[in-house]
Structure 1
């Protein structure tokens, strides 16, 4: 405990325009310690990682490594000698060998010639030093997820770094892979390597870590020994002690006259590597929530329901009609509308007009014999603009010129243009302001009130408050089901793996 901290951050402030991403936070990780950093989305975890790895310069505060001031901004080699981050998405180059990845940009060469034999020998020695059983001649794309992580850790240690940040390292690992990763981390801790462990899975925090720090709303809430902190107290620190409250966008339930008839049904639906067999039903007038942290399987479930992914098992029906698996056109024809998670990558054609974007799903209705009449397109879009209150200069305005909230309204307008029986929305309010969030979630409730149905897949509590029921996913399994009026702490505990209940959703 007398040795200087592997990293000590004090009074860190970071702003992005008017947004305060970190508000005077602190963190200390000791040599040989496995220290968890937890918090809900927006707590400031990712911003702190960017500060600790030199990607962002703090507006205030100090960072030291082993008692020495952090390297100068832009001194990449100096930062690599202090700290490395192993991200959820692997950073290895798939077409290079393990040896080439380990010593990328540090090849043993004279002039233009690389001494491949010496390079492979160095790689074998490095892998053996840290107990990584991987053939240095194998292509990185042939490795398992855990092997790629071990290679990244070994590469970081080869620079001299003794602080490794692990960002959701178990998200793509099975139970056996998680245990092997944890054994290797414990061995490295005994060698004095420190780990900052960022995870949504609280059970893993208790299994691996000695200390936990909680951030909430860009501020430091607590740091405590894991052994002294009950899970319910950890969840309370993450969510705040205030009881759940009705938000301004939590519209009261208005059931359609024929409420109760099943609109969307999934029976023993499964996708290998993403989620296990599950059942769910959504009835007329109902909004069903699917809650889960990163890599819980929620996004994959939403994409499977709308045909973007082909399930490995199970059946989907809409109003009794079987939906062809893995077929977006068939899902659309069956009556499923879709609001994707990333509107920029999946939801919009940025250089096209509001009208063109809003009518992509109904092109067959915009003119005779497969033609698209501009006048009919603009008229169709004008109705959507008025209905959803899209703030635009008109149907012909490029969608790229709209605010984030209004762009998302265009995405929803496109999803609703075909008058689907069921709307599936994945994180529908991501990246929008509070007023837009209120409007967007109000639209989802209106879909249900009109006698149709909706599914919201999200880890944002405010998105889930408008739902009549919520299924909580953890590691691809439905672990709990909540009716309206759930407490924040109970739902977060289920999403983070702090509680687990057997059974599938209905």
Structure 2
């Protein structure tokens, strides 16, 4: 450069979509966040990971204005966060798409998009009355602007899960938010739905939208995100580019433990049951029209059978038929050779079938009830004489389950809604085990829980089998299926492959997606 040549001005980096520094949040004596930080750049997909109880949910509440931090600062685009309590101002900065959909199921897409903002006359520009034609056209324009192909006249409950998520994202962007928090967005999606969601997120990133991605599925972090922040025990552990962090190092950061070999699920010296052993659970010609074709299963004492299948495979329907939640079109379920009354949950329970449902929020828990009440729902007939329920006996029973499953709680009387996701799931498992089932049927048992809780829950399933019962795990999560002695792959209601314990990720995923068959 010549002495008199003007210097090129330094390039200024765009301010962060969100920057949080020194955030502290206490709930009574509990420190939920201890001086943590987080920075997400415009157009970035940034993962926030950590075990249950690490502080992720509390941080989301602070970022969305639901909780005021006791210390620290939050800024959006270089400007201080709005005043806490100013909901409209916060919506213009940030929005959250939760694992549990927040759309109103009986309203149309258009009505959900402009909920509490219907002020349109017939011209679609404003007035005292709602101009439905204008509302629908405005919805079409909004959805088209973000490339979301959804009919605004369809009721939200009739949309696939990922399209409901697209609607929530579009609604958030319509308020001006350029940062979207995705809290376990893939928990209820099959592989194709996940891919469609990720494609849409990448498209929106190219328009400058930033995403904070919260997930327990580390493979998705590596597939979607460019940066990751780890919290552990309410503290910030690290922030790093995803490409520079191995999966082993990421798990170590989350758990505080050094990387180790894969968990040894099978007890030392355990012997797989032979074909001559009488099955605990058997199906013969079991079928449900529109869901799965006639199916013969035999699950023996000491065995964990895996059924691998995506959302449209019929696997979930199979699990619901086994436990009596749905009535089969044909065929039968038998326990120890005795036919189980079809479509009857009480009869399935009496026959010795325990059930871990797919969605703990909808089917697994009564949120406003205590840990003790939830854990003992299936054994109320055993908690007092002549059909009464004695609180003391309920608490005693619950304490034994809390100790057995290592449920982190303040006691049996704590509302189950106050537990972390992993501990809530353990309560669901406690309820399933309360009657000492001979066969345990688990649908996606580790959905929405952290790595450590996942190992613990799968270890419980393995222990049930090793103690002489049978277990069936129905899931599309590969980690869930590693605990199994054998795995059947379902595709469009038909068994397309059967694997022993030595399957590879590639061949099992190929079978679930219908691109590889092995009998």
- The worse-fitting range, judged by mean Cα deviation, of 120-129 and 67-76 is 120-129
The match for 1:415 among 435, 438, 451 is 435
| 1:87 pairs with 2:107 | no
The match for 1:74 among 73, 85, 95 is 85
- Deviation, structure 1 residue 209: 2.0
Structure 2 CA distance for partners of 1:203 and 1:347, relative to 1, 3 Å: same
SS in structure 1 opposite 2:60? helix
Structure 2 CA distance for partners of 1:344 and 1:282, relative to 1, 3 Å: same
SS in structure 2 opposite 1:113? coil
What is the rounded CA distance, in whole Å, between the counterparts of 1:387 and 1:37 in structure 2? 33
What is the rounded CA distance, in whole Å, between the counterparts of 2:160 and 2:471 in structure 1? 37
The match for 2:280 among 241, 249, 263 is 263
The match for 1:7 among 3, 18, 28 is 18
Cα deviation, 1:305-357, whole Å, max 9, x if unaligned, reads 42224579997442244545543244234332457757652998999999997
- Deviation, structure 1 residue 281: 6.0
Structure 2 CA distance for partners of 1:130 and 1:70, relative to 1, 3 Å: same
Question: Is the 8 Å Cα contact of residues 291 and 470 (structure 1) preserved in structure 2?
Answer: no
| Residue aligning to 2:225 | 209
SS in structure 2 opposite 1:36? strand
TM-score (norm 1): 0.67
Consecutive unaligned residues of structure 1, counting only runs of 5 or more, are 364-372, 392-398, 432-437, 484-492
| Residue aligning to 1:396 | none
SS in structure 2 opposite 1:188? helix
Consecutive unaligned residues of structure 2, counting only runs of 5 or more, are 1-11, 121-125, 403-410, 417-422, 450-455
- Deviation, structure 1 residue 74: 1.3
The match for 2:323 among 299, 306, 321 is 306
- Deviation, structure 1 residue 142: 3.5
| Residue aligning to 1:225 | 241
TM-score (norm 2): 0.65
| Residue aligning to 1:63 | 74
| Residue aligning to 2:366 | 345
| 1:140 pairs with 2:151 | no
Question: Is the 8 Å Cα contact of residues 339 and 347 (structure 1) preserved in structure 2?
Answer: no
Number of equivalenced pairs: 466
Question: Is the 8 Å Cα contact of residues 395 and 412 (structure 2) preserved in structure 1?
Answer: no
The match for 1:36 among 47, 54, 79 is 47
The match for 1:122 among 128, 134, 138 is 138
The match for 2:352 among 335, 341, 362 is 335
SS in structure 2 opposite 1:106? coil
SS in structure 1 opposite 2:366? helix
Structure 2 CA distance for partners of 1:349 and 1:481, relative to 1, 3 Å: farther
Cα deviation, 1:172-197, whole Å, max 9, x if unaligned, reads 44444433333332222222111112
The match for 1:188 among 188, 194, 204 is 204
| 1:46 pairs with 2:57 | yes
Alignment of 1:401-440 (within 5 A): 411=431, 415-416=435-436, 420-423=437-440
| Residue aligning to 2:336 | 319
SS in structure 2 opposite 1:415? coil
SS in structure 1 opposite 2:236? strand
What is the rounded CA distance, in whole Å, between the counterparts of 1:295 and 1:42 in structure 2? 33
- Deviation, structure 1 residue 163: 0.2
- Deviation, structure 1 residue 214: 2.8
- Deviation, structure 1 residue 61: 2.7
What is the rounded CA distance, in whole Å, between the counterparts of 2:82 and 2:400 in structure 1? 50
Question: Is the 8 Å Cα contact of residues 371 and 398 (structure 2) preserved in structure 1?
Answer: no
Alignment of 1:223-262 (within 5 A): 223-239=239-255, 240-241=257-258, 243=260, 261-262=278-279
Structure 2 CA distance for partners of 1:106 and 1:330, relative to 1, 3 Å: same
SS in structure 1 opposite 2:82? coil
What is the rounded CA distance, in whole Å, between the counterparts of 1:46 and 1:15 in structure 2? 13
- Deviation, structure 1 residue 18: 4.5
Structure 2 CA distance for partners of 1:278 and 1:220, relative to 1, 3 Å: farther
| 1:25 pairs with 2:36 | yes
